[in-house]
Amino acid sequence: AQSVTQLGSHVSVSEGALVLLRCNYSSSVPPYLFWYVQYPNQGLQLLLKYTTGATLVKGINGFEAEFKKSETSFHLTKPSAHMSDAAEYFCAVINNAGNMLTFGGGTRLMVKP
């Protein structure tokens, strides 16, 4: 079985500050990892994904995440927050057979002017 834990259900940063959203996973097989963003009353939009290869992955809107196998982590970062980044962010894991896409509980990012 696989699972995802997102530390901090709410994160608040000032505009222009570093964004760091934490994600830890458990999986019995090498995982594929994802970050999705959800704006109010919308579905989920993919920010970035890790499958194989380079452990630092870059996504849309200036976000990036680093896969650290030794720490079973896949934290999401952005150097400078923008007001438009305010949303709910979900980390997800899937096994390499493409089954059971499992989500964490989500982190609501608030950006203060």
Partner 1 sequence: EAGVAQSPRYKIIEKRQSVAFWCNPISGHATLYWYQQILGQGPKLLIQFQNNGVVDDSQLPKDRFSAERLKGVDSTLKIQPAKLEDSAVYLCASSSAVVEAFFGQGTRLTVV
Return residues touching partner 1 (CB under 8 A).
Answer: 4, 6, 32, 34, 36, 41-46, 49, 51, 90, 94, 98-106
- Could you tell me the smallest distance in angstroms from the CB atom of residue 60 to partner 1? 13
Q: Are 33 and 26 within 8 A, CB to CB?
A: no
- Could you tell me the smallest distance in angstroms from the CB atom of residue 110 to partner 1? 15
- Comparison of 42 and 80: residue with beta carbon closer to partner 1: 42
- Could you tell me the smallest distance in angstroms from the CB atom of residue 27 to partner 1? 14
Q: What is each CA distance from 48 to 1, 28, 102, 109, 112, in whole angstroms?
A: 23, 22, 15, 17, 24
- Could you tell me the smallest distance in angstroms from the CB atom of residue 46 to partner 1? 6
- Comparison of 17 and 103: residue with beta carbon closer to partner 1: 103
> DSSP string of 18-79?
-EEE--EEE-SS-EEEEEEEE-TT--EEEEEEE-SS-SEEE-GGG-EEEEEGGGTEEEEEES
Q: By three-state DSSP, how is residue 97 classified?
A: coil
